[in-house]
Structure 1
Amino acid sequence: MEINKNHTFYKMLLAIAVPIAIQSFFSTSLNIVDSLMVGGLQEEALAAVGLANQYYYFFILIVFGICSGSATFTAQFWGNKDIKNIKRILGVVLLSCGIISIIFALGAMIMPNYIMSIFIKDSKTIELGSAFLRIISVSYIITSISFAYSASCRSIGETKAIMKASTLSLLCNTILNYILIYGKFGMPAMGVSGSALATVIARIVELILILRFVYKNKTPLNANLQELLNISKEFVIKFYRTTLPVIFNEALWSLGIIIYSIAYGRISIEAVAAIQICNAVQNLFMIVAKSISTASAVMIGNRIGENDNESVRVYVRNFSKLSISLGIITGILMALLSPAFVNLYNIKPEVKLETIRTLYVICMYLSVKFFNITMVVGFFRSGGDTTFACFLDAGTVWLIGIPLAFLSVLVFKLPLHWVVALLSLEEVVKSLIGARRIKSYIWMRNVIQDMG
């Protein structure tokens, strides 16, 4: 019986995780190519785009919070084969993400200089980043719609089409970056503004491809306007009772990461450039963790929706062991390849050395990060235990990571790699507290029983 369950487990895992991994690989690889192209201009350009993207990062993680919270419901409704309520959930998500994206887009259009000045005081970097923000703000509402449909597709196991759409859009982004940044094929050289315009066009392409798949293939998300808006006040309240902690979680966590960037900016502009490279490389290796956590959220959410608690316990044990093991293997691989990645960038030798040292520190914590993302996204959120997940995920950043970051920068004047080593201790604390919660299984509950 256990063998059959494990066979089913790995079969479902591969079906969900592999397309997500392929999509993420292309996404992250092409983002690295993008950063290489921007970095080919100057270090200020690389820092400007990296810091401007912190604002986008804050926005997209709020959107991700809404979509991630909705995935709890969609996965459980799909386990119960309730198509009507899946469409209603999608309607709530589209409205919510639309409002958030309009607010952030207006901020980026109206006061980009103020936003950039929060992160750094260098006037040239602020000027470049502001130009980038004004253009890319147009893509915010488009991106939020894509996110809503993509998250819903993944929750019902439709991952291949999302993979194809994202991959084609990112290829488009990379090609346009080359043309618009450097002025190829008769186009003017637009620098960082060209990078922003390329992103806007690529996001439009992605949305068109996703909507084409959803509606042409008559998927369960093939909802008309009436079905999307068939929502009551009570339905929305029940939705946000579970989802609001996820939104707060992502908002507080991402704000914490932005504050980390402010701390890095107090070290030097070289430290900012180094951390942007570290983030690009780390994201490439975090593909595995994101794929595992997404697969665990879908699979565990489906089983909870079916009230199959025995399978949930099997899945939790398997995903816990898998995330830690893959984290160790990935960390070793990342350490071996980090120097080669860093050498691709056109930066000063001393910046290269500090970037490699920082990447080695990140490698040390990778298995803990793998476990934590699977725990928070795959277990607690899919089980509806979103309030605890919020306190755990955001709380450790704010109570441990941020104080250690500023102490190490402002008081002890430590170099970047030591700053990252100290603030990353919050990941260790998070894993220790979360592991006890996992074993209790009090996080596992069916959130769709009273949705109606």
Structure 2
Amino acid sequence: MMKSKGNKSNKFNLWLLAWPIFIEQFLQFLLGSVDTLMVSRISDNAVAVVGFSNQLFNALTTLFATVASGAGIVIAQKIGSRQEEDARTVGIISFNVTAAIGLVLSVLLIAFPHPIAKMLQLPDELLPLADVYIPIVGGGMILIAAIAVLGTAIRNTGNTKGPMLIAVGMNVIHIVMNYGFIFGAYGFPQLGLTGVAISTVTSRLIATIVLFVLFLSTFQRKIKLSDFRIFDRRLFKEVLEIGWPLGVNSANWVFSQLAIFSFLAMLGSKELAARTYMNTLESFCFLLGFSLALAAQIQIAHLYGAGKTREAYRSAYKALAVGLPLVAVNASILVIFGKNVLSLFTQDADILTLCVTLLWMNLMLQPGKMVNMALGNSLNAIGDTRYTMKISLIFMWVVATGCSYVLGVTLGWGIIAIYSCMIADEYIRGVLSYVRWRGRKYLRMKEDEMQKEQEQCAAEVSLAL
């Protein structure tokens, strides 16, 4: 028994959780960069449409992020408190609800791609490409939903290696099929952006099947197909209590980014393409930092469930101490070599000039983003999700989005002003998250709860004697 407990505790070691997440994210970044490079061989307009569409899809994922994210935290907390059967039930419920939401979104994107693109201010010259790409990839929203909830559930049991290997396989398949469809290789027809869309959906379908098989065996008691009829209102309410602010928080970020993409579209297709290329490069800066922050969230939720509040408190600072220097170094590397890398994607001089300026601004952006990732995820892990939601509602929309429109579009200061507003938003929320974490509000509540339980147990023992 002692060995089993040790193995379970070891699964939730910060580094053991973080390194598979890092490898998964790093390889996805590399393969995503290759994907963008391949699409750029079609045209800069194709890149802009893919970037714009991905922002739309990310925005729509917030509709099921409430369940998926909340379920992940509850699963880790339940395992920490040794309520394995409840963790299993939460996993099943979250899959059913998330898949249903994904199916509805798939139908909507297949039926109305053109009106959606028009509503989001996509330039007219890009609409024909959007009419091709959005219904095919958007029609697979149910697959995105399934991948999100299955991967989250599995990771929060302490198994970060499984989703890593599956994600790597998915991206390799996607790149191989992309190459075939874009260049007519391996006997594939040369289908351009249509082929890219087909390869995206196909690779996600394969990943969903493999993740589902792994999910069936991820808890102590294996899940049977008949178990998917289970629904526990008490546990689902617990998921929603943690999850709905997470969903709103995620929606704030994604929809604010979508709004900013719309502002960039108003400025022109070059600004939109520049932001898309920068999204790819920026991912490099915070890969390990993001991995540490996500690992810290899993670890802290587990420690919080087990009542180890002091260890949970320190874990956030460990992730932050390692992550901040890493993102600073990575951002500096991009400043030095970024222009050479960008020249692989586009030869447009105007786009390159914009991107080089944004690389310097990225050096200021990333440390603030790292603080948000580490401390924001830590607050979420202990259930303090309403606080992160509130500061997101205020500052993402007032500073990042509202000021971006006023300064970037209305006053005509362009993409530089928009980036400046994004930087200000990250630092404001980072400082507020730090102050909240230092206050230990939810950790103290947990300690008081445990003390009352101990006193109650002592009283019952005393009466029995």
> So what's the TM-score if we normalise by structure 2?
0.89
* Residue number in structure 2 paired with 1:201: 202
* Residue number in structure 1 paired with 2:276: 276
Change (3 A) 1:382 1:431: same
* Residue number in structure 2 paired with 1:329: 329
* Residue number in structure 2 paired with 1:14: 15
Task: State the aligned residue count.
Answer: 440
* Residue number in structure 1 paired with 2:96: 95
Deviation of 1:340 after TM superposition, in Å, equals 2.3
Asked if 2 retains the 8 angstrom alpha-carbon contact of 1:65 and 1:246, the reply is: yes
For 1:45 and 1:138, locate their aligned partners in 2 and report how far apart those are by CA, in whole Å.
Answer: 19
Other structure's SS at 1:443 match: helix
Query: Aligned ranges for residues 39-50 of structure 1 at < 5 Å?
Result: 39-50=40-51
Query: Aligned ranges for residues 64-79 of structure 1 at < 5 Å?
Result: 64-79=65-80
Other structure's SS at 2:284 match: helix
For 2:219 and 2:238, locate their aligned partners in 1 and report how far apart those are by CA, in whole Å.
Answer: 25
For 1:11 and 1:255, locate their aligned partners in 2 and report how far apart those are by CA, in whole Å.
Answer: 33
* Residue number in structure 2 paired with 1:308: 308
* Residue number in structure 2 paired with 1:29: 30
Amino acid in the other structure paired with 2:304: I
Deviation of 1:171 after TM superposition, in Å, equals 0.3
Other structure's SS at 1:189 match: coil
For 1:272 and 1:112, locate their aligned partners in 2 and report how far apart those are by CA, in whole Å.
Answer: 19
| Greater mean alpha carbon deviation, residues 338-347 or residues 290-299 | 338-347
* Residue number in structure 2 paired with 1:5: none
Asked if 1 retains the 8 angstrom alpha-carbon contact of 2:12 and 2:299, the reply is: no
Q: Deviations over 1:160-212 (max 9, x none)?
A: 11111110110000010111123223332211111110011100121222233
Asked if 2 retains the 8 angstrom alpha-carbon contact of 1:52 and 1:130, the reply is: no
Asked if 1 retains the 8 angstrom alpha-carbon contact of 2:166 and 2:207, the reply is: yes
Change (3 A) 1:160 1:221: farther
Change (3 A) 1:124 1:267: closer
Q: Deviations over 1:248-268 (max 9, x none)?
A: 111222111100101111111
Change (3 A) 1:109 1:10: closer
Other structure's SS at 1:413 match: coil
* Residue number in structure 1 paired with 2:242: 242
Match status 1:386 vs 2:393: no
Instruction: Give unpaired runs (5+ residues) of structure 1.
Output: 1-7
Change (3 A) 1:282 1:218: closer
Asked if 2 retains the 8 angstrom alpha-carbon contact of 1:52 and 1:133, the reply is: yes
Amino acid in the other structure paired with 2:109: A
Query: Aligned ranges for residues 133-148 of structure 1 at < 5 Å?
Result: 133-148=134-149
Greater Rg, structure 1 or structure 2? 2
Change (3 A) 1:85 1:112: same
For 2:246 and 2:368, locate their aligned partners in 1 and report how far apart those are by CA, in whole Å.
Answer: 21
Asked if 2 retains the 8 angstrom alpha-carbon contact of 1:74 and 1:156, the reply is: yes
Deviation of 1:144 after TM superposition, in Å, equals 1.3
Deviation of 1:55 after TM superposition, in Å, equals 1.5
Instruction: Give unpaired runs (5+ residues) of structure 2.
Output: 1-8, 451-465
For 1:316 and 1:426, locate their aligned partners in 2 and report how far apart those are by CA, in whole Å.
Answer: 21
Change (3 A) 1:222 1:62: farther
* Residue number in structure 1 paired with 2:167: 166
For 2:302 and 2:12, locate their aligned partners in 1 and report how far apart those are by CA, in whole Å.
Answer: 15
* Residue number in structure 2 paired with 1:402: 401
Other structure's SS at 2:139 match: helix
Asked if 2 retains the 8 angstrom alpha-carbon contact of 1:292 and 1:374, the reply is: yes
Query: Cα RMSD over matched residues?
Result: 2.2
Amino acid in the other structure paired with 1:186: G
Asked if 2 retains the 8 angstrom alpha-carbon contact of 1:120 and 1:126, the reply is: no
Amino acid in the other structure paired with 1:413: G
Change (3 A) 1:165 1:9: closer
Change (3 A) 1:237 1:392: same
Change (3 A) 1:334 1:61: farther
Asked if 1 retains the 8 angstrom alpha-carbon contact of 2:121 and 2:262, the reply is: yes
For 2:64 and 2:252, locate their aligned partners in 1 and report how far apart those are by CA, in whole Å.
Answer: 13
Amino acid in the other structure paired with 2:323: S
For 2:349 and 2:142, locate their aligned partners in 1 and report how far apart those are by CA, in whole Å.
Answer: 40
For 1:416 and 1:335, locate their aligned partners in 2 and report how far apart those are by CA, in whole Å.
Answer: 18
Other structure's SS at 1:365 match: helix
> So what's the TM-score if we normalise by structure 1?
0.92
Q: Deviations over 1:135-160 (max 9, x none)?
A: 11232112211221111111111011
Other structure's SS at 1:424 match: helix
Match status 1:361 vs 2:361: yes
What percentage of residue pairs aligned between the two structures are identical?
Answer: 16
